[in-house]
């Protein structure tokens, strides 16, 4: 009785293995073959640009504040037109856990998670990315959003010149 059960169990396992020999495999031959990640896949983050091709990042420090592993650092600076931008922006991908909290915190949609997951290097220092390494040419998702056209402080347009603003008030006016 027990002997019959053992023989059956052994052969059944062979039968399953043998059966899979003639099916299409689910694994692929990485790195010769590669998968296409889903559009919302969270891998290396990028810095996007606004519709005019300027950097979207305003160096507000919200990503570095949100980052649970403290891998983002930056320094803000002011351009002659009053635009706040990142003088330098650095991410240590050796430390990054790809949680996406930075992209979620980003108020200008500058940080977006890209599907590029192949960033392993032998030298950990080469995983420290600077702004130049992170910037891409397009706007990524929501590519027509421009923070400065909604901010209300007159950088992209003159003060009071955005679509959702009245022109500057005249404090001297006496009209009730």
Partner 1 sequence: MPTLTIDNREITVPEGTNVLEAARALDIVIPHFCYHEALGAVGACRLCAMRITDGKVSGIQMACMVRAKDGMIVSTLDPDAVELRRHVIEWLMTNHPHDCPVCDEGGECQLQEMTIAGGHGNRRYTGKKRTYANQDLGPYIAHEMNRCIACYRCVRTYRDYCGGTDFGVFGSRDRVYFGRVRDGQLESPFAGNLVDVCPTGVFTDKTFRFKSRAWDLQEAPSICPHCSLGCAVVPGARFRELQRIRAGISPEVNGFFICDRGRFAKGSTNDPARPRQPRIDGTPAAMDTAIETLRTRLAAVVARYGPQSVALLGSPHASLEAAVLLRDWAQSLGTTRLVYTAHAEQDRAARITGARLERHARSLNDIRGSDLVVMVGADPLAEGPLLALAARQAVRGGGQVAVIAPQPVELPCRASQLILPTEQLDAALHCLAGGAATTLDATARQQLEALREQLAGAQRPVLVGSSARLGGRGVNTLFDTAEALTTPERTIGVMMLLQGPNSYGGAMLAGRGPNFDMLLDGIEDGRIRALVCLESDPIGESRDPARTQELLGRLDLLAALDARPTATVARAAIFLPTRTGIEADGSYVSNEGRLQAFARVMEPGVPLRDTSPAGHPPREFFTETPGSEPWPAWRVFARLLGRSEDLAVLRREIADLDPRFAPLAGIRPEAPGSRLTTTPGLPHYQLDREARE
Instruction: Kindly list the residues in this chain that would bind partner 1 in the complex (CB under 8 A).
Output: 58-62, 64-65, 73, 75-78, 84, 87-88, 90, 107-108, 125, 128, 130, 147, 150-154, 159-160, 164-174, 176
Q: 117: number of CA atoms within 13 Å, CB side?
A: 14
Residue placing its CB nearer to partner 1 in the complex, 12 or 104: 104
Q: Least CB distance from residue 128 to partner 1, whole Å?
A: 7
Q: How far is the CB of 114 from partner 1 (least distance, A)?
A: 22
Minimum distance of partner 1 from residue 170's CB (angstroms): 7
User: Which residue, 45 or 59, has its beta carbon nearer to partner 1?
Assistant: 59
3-state secondary structure of 91: strand
Q: How near is the Cβ of 95 to partner 1 at its closest, in Å?
A: 14
Residue closer to partner 1 by CB (options 42, 90) is 90
* Residue number with CB closer to partner 1 (100 or 154): 154
d(CA 62, CA 135): 18
Backbone angles phi, psi at 38, to 5 degrees: -65, 155
CA distances from 56 to 83, 136, 145, 153, 169 (A): 10, 11, 9, 16, 29
- Nearer to partner 1 by Cβ, of 34 and 121: the residue is 121
Number of residues written out for the chain:
176
Smallest separation, CB 36 to partner 1 (Å) = 34
Residue 139 token pair: 């706007």
Contact 41, 117 (CB under 8 A): yes
| Residues 96, 69 contacting (CB under 8 angstroms) | yes
């Amino acid at each position: 009785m027990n002997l019959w059960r053992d023989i059956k169990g052994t052969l059944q396992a062979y039968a399953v293995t043998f059966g899979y020999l003639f099916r299409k495999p689910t694994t692929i031959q990485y790195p010769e073959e590669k998968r296409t990640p889903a559009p919302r896949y969270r891998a290396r983050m990028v810095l996007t640009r606004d519709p005019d091709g300027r950097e979207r990042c305003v160096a507000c420090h919200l990503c570095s504040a949100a980052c649970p592993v403290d891998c983002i650092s930056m320094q803000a600076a002011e351009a002659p037109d009053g635009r706040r931008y990142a003088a330098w922006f650095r991410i240590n991908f050796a430390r990054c856990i790809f949680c996406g909290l930075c992209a979620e915190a980003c108020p200008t949609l500058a940080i977006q998670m890209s599907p590029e997951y192949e960033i392993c290097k032998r030298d950990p220092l080469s995983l420290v990315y600077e702004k130049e390494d992170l910037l891409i040419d397009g706007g990524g998702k929501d590519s027509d959003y421009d923070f400065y056209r909604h901010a209300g402080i007159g950088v992209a347009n003159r003060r009071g010149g955005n679509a959702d603003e009245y022109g500057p008030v005249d404090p001297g006016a006496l009209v009730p």
